[in-house]
Structure 1
Amino acid sequence: MTSKRTASYLKPILPFLASLALMPPVLADDHNTGPAEPRHGMAMHGEPKYPEGFSHFDYVNADAPKGGTLKMAVVANGFDSFNPFDIRGVAAAGINTYLYDTLMESSDDEPFSAYGLIAESMETPEDRSYVVFNLREQARFHDGEPITAEDVKFSFETLTTKGHPFFRNYYADVASVTAVTPQRVRFDFKPTTNRELPLILGQMPVLPAHYWADRDFGGNGLTPPLGSGPYRIGDFEAGRSIVYQRVEDYWAKDLGVRKGRFNFDQIRYDYYTDDTVALEAFKAGNFDFRVETSAKNWATAYAGPKFDSGKIVTEAIDHQRPTGMQGFVFNTRRDKFSDPRVRQALAYAFDFEWANRNLFYGQYTRTDSYFENSELASSGLPEGRELELLEAYRDQLPPEVFSETYQPPVTDGQQGVRQNLRRALELLRSAGYAIKDGKLTHTETGTPLAFEILLFQKSFERVVLPFKNNLAKLGIEVSVRLVDSNQYVQRVREFDFDMITQVMPQSDSPGNEQREYWHSANVDAIGSRNYMGVNSPVIDDLVRQVIQAPDRDELVQRVRALDRVLLHGHYVVPHWHLAKDRVAYWRHLQRPQMTPKNGVDLDNWWVKP
């Protein structure tokens, strides 16, 4: 599970507010809109929760003491870059969070609202056809240079031309950016009803134009870059560890969006290549906090004197954020997976009930939505407004979208998986396959159905191997390839796989990032998150409608329609989810009494004095 805070570039994130200045008449007239009033914050729909001048978020301890060191572990094969915005290389953990400030900061207890950080205020008209950010005069980079509108303009242009392809998609509806004054920057939008644009522009990290003026944006390597955030890079050992040092005179430390947050003097990440070793290192006191993703570990490994005495605390903390979709992801660019009947058939070979009982200690619930654990998830048969939306595409969609409730195959009952395998074979025969010499073979091409599952976590083999064994009963040959994390990242970026296990996280306010996951424009875009190769005019149009939703109620219905079409496309074999954060930590760490709906956020914790 990935929270919004940790999912790179995902929302909900950020920023707004400020000083009045006259708009350039030519820009305002282009949209036939009058001047907009400055506002301190903004909600995607409705009004933001926190008033102007609020002292701190409700879910933080405004009096949390500063000090101490937070020691963390990363299970990966190291890092080779301090640039999290470039597609090349593997960036060090924490760079994006701690080194760079954004125009706005999101709250964790609202679906998607943002408040001013670098921007003191923002101005946008009712139709949201443009946005102006008024920057705080006290906003500074770590070298003392002020953050200006030219830095914002430079950041946008650099990220969308030299950065990760994500940014080009995310900000695709921006027509122009203008530095009006040193403290005032304006973004004008293409003809669109994309109401999310002002908010997601607020998420944009602001880079120092003067620092990058004589440097190669993609070639900085392990030279610590200049930032503006609550921490700067301290000591590091290439690929093995990195330390972030709190900036004592951090310019934003007393703002309402920062009060009570970023309390550790140092944050240290050490890299481990094996999760079992990392777990033992945690129990030995080599690091302080661990999110447990293994049900087996949670059930069996957190025991002993240190746990009995309370030196190490374990908690399963409820959250209300969407858990998204985790599953076996088909690469439909491969001919073998181009037929949805084949993809649907293979789902019958995954025995979740057996896995949950024998591997997961009954801790999980089966996932049946891309927007699981939220009101955005589709259910039952389409009705009301959702049905009305889908009717426009009836002749382009499978009949099952309208007549069958989507449910992943289950294996309850005496026959277990055998009945499911019979159903799988029926679907495979309808797709042109037959058993020949013990192998499932396409009757026209004579090609056996065989594929590779790419993994980078050895612990996941125990889930994959039973799936492989069930597929073998259908005459399907599956190989499991375990690679290191860096190779895995590179192969996934280039879509060089047949099947992977992947998490597709979601926010409570889906919008522009949906292009990155499902839009046909990203089928061949190296580094995009369209892992499955979704290429559907219907899905393209539903994504457009989600982005343009005028209010919350309409957003919910449009997302449900998109969810339903994706599910009936059989692009994944759904796994499971858990609406809790399973965390273990040494008791010198303290946390606020209130946990926001988005769940645990270590940036709100502190060390007990």
Structure 2
Amino acid sequence: MQRMCQMTKATTRAASDLTHERNWRNWMAFLVFGFALIAASGTRAQEETVKSHGYSFFGDLKYGPDYTHFDYVNPDAPKGGEISIATLGTFDSMNPYSRKGRGGALSTVMYESLLGEGVNVATPADVYAEYYCLLCESLEYDVDKNWVIFYMRPEARFSDGTPVTAHDVAFSQQLILEQGLRSYADAVSKRIQDIEVIDDHTIKYSFTPGISRRSLIEVVGGMSVWSKKWYEETGARLDESRLETSPGSGAYMIEEIDVNRRITYKRNPDYWGADLPFNKGRNNFDRIRIEYFGDENSAFEAFKAGEYTFRNEGNSRQWAKAYDFPKVQNGHIVKKELPDGAPPTPNGIIFNLGREVLKDKRVREAVSLGFNFEWTNESLQYGLFKPRASFNQDTPLMATGTPQGAELAFLQSLGDLVPPDMLTEEARIPHTSSASRLLDRRNLRKAMSLLDEAGWAVGDDGKRRNAAGQPLRLTFLLNSAGSATLSAVIENFMSNLQGMGIEAVLEKVDASQYTARERDRDYDLVFDSYIPFLSTGGGLQQVYGSEASEYSVFNPAGLASPLVDEIIEASQRATTKEDTDVTLIALDRALRHELFMIPVWYNDAHWVAYYDQYEHPDVIPSYGLGYLDFWWYNQDKAQALRAAGALR
């Protein structure tokens, strides 16, 4: 679910009850037909298999078996140099697979999977939901996807020189099921019936009967592979915080760890997969260095001084006002916007639905009216953002208007699970506010009425209390290491809540406390994000489903909706891309209707600033900026910067 694609929009709305009935019957006929296809294909599966160099659910791959490199890379990119970036906060572990400790940045970069990924970017980055062999050279599966066999590359090696075998793959899968993040382990363990090591370089997964075949092959194929030998010799556990790491098979390995200050990764000079078509034009830097800073201001000043060399800017104030220093003016630092073709991250103010007071949608509606995007954008963000409404913003899978055509028929087929107003009202979009003043009086009146209706009356002191005399109190958890702009946004939002009579408390805590409290959902409100979805699969259940809602680290609101669950299940039962699209449009509509997040803003471009020693392909792929993955270092430009004193 990291990769994005484009799909068809919902069709036009039916005009009468007769049309609604016909659409409902058509949808049910589609389901019956789909299940018939599944039953029929079961008999073919004994005879027909697919063997391929890559995988997609519908079998369509952009790159053929003799591809030489991905289209967007520079296959002749030189190797060398260093790229350095900044991150905020602290770290005390290099094990990101545990809830314990705070994992270091890029601490998964050393590890590879059967179906490959890139350095902090989906690979390939120009297509969505296509996966290509890396540790494997091919895979084979029956047409019903009841099982898959991976044929591994015998030449694959860990950084300590030991071979990567099917035994390591099976061990890694079992390790994460037994000791990994609970939400992931619970979801995957129910889907894998058996793991069989056929020989040293061949492994077979058999999947549980009677479940959707969506996301099974790519999930097991995308699992990180660790050294069984190292874990057995050291006795290390996956659920512990530790700085020691097992050897990986990837292009990069750890060179230096200075806790809470920096992490440096170096390219493995003996990397086994350097010449694979999958890696051509990629992994170009000799070193990737991450510098840690306590706050955004110190990080930016360090960039100006040349302590690190690349910024993927996210602070609108800095982008608008702070890049007027001499190194930008004289061209030593490049500042540019690059196109971003992926749906924006659905971030915003998250409600903790486990809090009793926030279970009332009227309260959430009133609180959401306290956010003034227009004033925030003009006064604090220099008008650089657009308001976000959808979990699939600006894609064909964004729900618009009222349900129509196939989407309406599908929603009607779900019966009483669908609130009547979802069928007749337009997809939820954020309210508008006055840009001229922070507290929009029109929205304030609506909010006050909703809170009155919900039983939170205003007392003589202007504070809202329920019938038992308890105050309406909401705490907002904020990472103190974050940007000053975000802090100002939240402070003004809290001010508006206080204007409604809500006892709104902002709790700024350091990065380590923030991580621990967020994992424990110790907040009423928090600024966080979910994921967009341009395809379906088991990952949707981990993020948006009810099953793991009480503890999933991917579901900060604790959303648990029978309607959302059923739509996700239906998306996984769909047998064509077109029918899948219908369910995902409906899912976007349902998630927005649930109102577990106040959507904020988005940017449809990458804001980057870097010392003029890096180069990138002319065309940036739709689904990844890839500055750590397929950009490269220009030695001549780097020497010129040093000669000019711009860099040490």
TM-score by length of 2: 0.87
Q: CA deviation at 1:413?
A: 8.1
**1:174 — aligned with what?**
192
Q: Any idea what SS the aligned residue of 2:177 has?
A: helix
Residue 202 of structure 2 corresponds to which residue in structure 1?
Answer: 184
- Amino acid across the alignment from 2:75: A
Alpha carbons of 1:37 and 1:543: their partners in 2 closer, same or farther (altered >3 Å)?
Answer: closer
Aligned equivalents of 1:554, 1:89: Cα separation in 2: 42
CA RMSD of aligned residues (A): 2.1
Quote the offset at 1:400 in angstroms. 2.5
Give the length in aligned residue pairs: 584
> 1:165, CA displacement in angstroms?
2.3
Aligned to 1:295: 316
Quote the offset at 1:216 in angstroms: 2.0
Contact 1:152–1:207 under 8 Å retained in 2: yes
Question: Is the partner of 2:303 in helix, strand or coil?
Answer: helix
* Pairing 1:85–2:107 present: no
In 1: Cα distance, 2:80 partner to 2:256 partner: 18
* Gaps in structure 2 of 5+ consecutive residues: 6-40, 117-122, 636-648
2:420 is matched with: 399
Deviations 1:190-213 (A, max 9, x none): 122223211222211111111111
Counterpart residue type for residue 373 of structure 1: D
Unaligned runs of 5+ in 1: 5-9, 14-27
* One-letter amino acid of the counterpart of residue 424, structure 1: A
Which residue number corresponds to residue 529 of structure 2?
Answer: 503
Structure 2 counterpart of 1:189, one-letter code: F
Matched-pair contact (CA < 8 Å) for 2:313–2:607: yes
Task: Report the CA distance between 1:508 and its aligned residue.
Answer: 3.2
SS in 1 for 2:489: helix
Given the alignment of the two structures, is residue 216 of structure 1 paired with residue 253 of structure 2, yes or no?
no
Counterpart of 1:197 in structure 2 is 216
Q: Provide the rounded CA distance (Å) in 2 between the counterparts of 1:12 and 1:159.
A: 26
Cα distance change on mapping 1:443 and 1:267 into 2, 3 Å: closer
1:317 to partner: Cα distance: 1.0
Conserved 8 A contact 2:88-2:292: yes
Q: d(CA) in 1 for partners of 2:264 and 2:523? A: 35
Q: Does 1:268 align with 2:285?
A: no
Shift in Å at residue 307 of structure 1? 1.0
Asked whether the 8 Å contact 1:82–1:224 carries over to 2, the reply is yes
Offset of residue 464 of structure 1: 1.0
CA distance in 1, matches of 2:329, 2:314: 22
Q: Does 1:533 align with 2:550?
A: no
- Write out per-residue CA displacement over residues 77-121 of structure 1, whole angstroms, 9 at most, x where no aligned residue: x2111212222111111121x200111123111121011100111
**Residue in 2 aligned with 1:71?**
84
Larger fraction in helix:
2
The CA distance in 1 between the partners of 2:466 and 2:150, in whole Å, is 62
The residue matched to 2:506 in structure 1 has which SS?
A: strand
Q: 1:363 aligns with which of 375, 380, 384?
A: 384
The DSSP-based 3-state class of the residue aligned with 1:185 is strand
Aligned to 1:139: 156
Q: Which residue of 2 aligns with 1:471?
A: 497
Q: Which moved more, 1:169-178 or 1:370-379?
A: 169-178
Q: Which segment drifts farther, 219-228 or 129-138?
A: 219-228
SS in 2 for 1:95: coil
1:48 Cα shift?
0.5
Report what 1:582 is aligned to: 607
Q: Deviations over 1:476-506 (max 9, x none)?
A: 1111111112211111111111100012132
Q: Which of residues 342, 345, 348 in structure 2 aligns to 1:327?
A: 348
Find the partner of 1:514 among 540, 546, 563: 540
- Code of the aligned partner of 1:455: L
Cα pair 1:321 1:507 within 8 Å, conserved? no
SS at match of 1:508: coil
Identity among equivalent positions (%) equals: 32
Q: Are residues 1:410 and 2:429 paired?
A: no
2:131 to 93, 111, 114: 114
1:517-566 CA distances to partner (integer Å, 9 max, x unpaired)?
221111222x5222112122111111222334323222221111111111
* Structure 1 residues 413 and 357: alpha-carbon distance in aligned structure 2, compared to 1, 3 A threshold: closer
- The letter of the residue matching 1:408 is P
Is the aligned partner of 1:253 residue 2:295?
no
String of CA shifts for 1:165-199, please: whole Å, max 9, x gaps: 24315524122211111111111111222232112
C-alpha displacement at 1:11, in angstroms?
Answer: 5.6
- Secondary structure (helix, strand or coil) at the match of 2:142 reads coil
- How many Å separate the matches in 2 of 1:586 and 1:240? 21
C-alpha distance 193-510 of structure 1, shift in aligned 2 (>3 A): closer
| Structure 1 residue 54 corresponds to structure 2 residue 67 | yes
Sort the Cα spacing of 1:66 and 1:80 in 2 relative to 1 into closer, same or farther, 3 A: same
1:144 maps to amino acid:
G
Please say if residues 478 and 507 of structure 2, whose CA atoms lie closer than 8 Å, have aligned partners that are also in contact. Answer: yes
Match of 2:585 among 521, 543, 560: 560
Quote the Cα distance in structure 2 between the aligned partners of 1:563 and 1:61. 37
**Could you say which residue in structure 2 is the equivalent of 1:307?**
328
Cα distance, 1:401 vs structure 2: 1.2
Secondary structure of the corresponding residue to residue 550 of structure 1: coil
Q: Shift of the alpha carbon at 1:452?
A: 0.5
Residue 594 (structure 2) pairs with residue 569 (structure 1):
yes
TM-score (norm 1): 0.92
Q: Is the 8 A contact 1:458 1:482 kept in 2?
A: no
Match of 1:513, SS state, is helix
In the alignment, the residues of structure 1 paired with residue 4 and residue 435 of structure 2 have an alpha-carbon distance, to the nearest angstrom, of 42
- 8 A Cα contact 1:320 1:374, kept in partner: no
Corresponding residue for 2:448?
Answer: 425
Q: Are 2:387 and 2:600, in contact at CA under 8 Å, matched by a contact in 1?
A: yes
Amino acid at match of 2:250: G
Is 2:37 the partner of 1:37? no
Contact 1:70 1:266 in 2 (8 A): yes
Secondary structure of the 1:122 match is strand
1:201 alignment partner AA: V
Q: Which amino acid aligns with 1:102?
A: S
* Residue of structure 2 in register with 1:16 after alignment: none
Q: Distance in 2 between matches of 1:30 and 1:483?
A: 59
Structure 1 residues 417 and 398: CA distance shift in structure 2, 3 A:
farther
CA contact (8 A) 2:463 2:502 kept: yes
Residue number in structure 1 paired with 2:506: 480
Distance of aligned partners of 1:213 and 1:403 in 2 relative to their CA distance in 1, 3 Å threshold: same
Q: Deviations over 1:130-154 (max 9, x none)?
A: 1111101111111221111111111
Question: Aligned to 1:162, which of 170, 179, 183?
Answer: 179
CA distance, structure 1, for counterparts of residue 483 and residue 383 of structure 2: 21
Q: 1:391 to 1:59 in 2, by over 3 A?
A: same
State the distance in 1 between where 2:213 and 2:536 align.
Answer: 12
Residue 396 of structure 1 and its aligned partner are, at CA, apart by 3.0
Distance 2:227 2:614 in 1: 34
Supply the AA of the counterpart residue of 2:375.
W
Q: State how far apart, in whole Å, the 2-side matches of 1:524 and 1:312 are.
A: 46
Contact 2:141 2:148 in 1 (8 A): yes
Contact kept in structure 2, 1:389 and 1:558, CA below 8 Å: yes
User: Who is 1:594 aligned against?
Assistant: 619
Q: CA deviation at 1:331?
A: 0.3
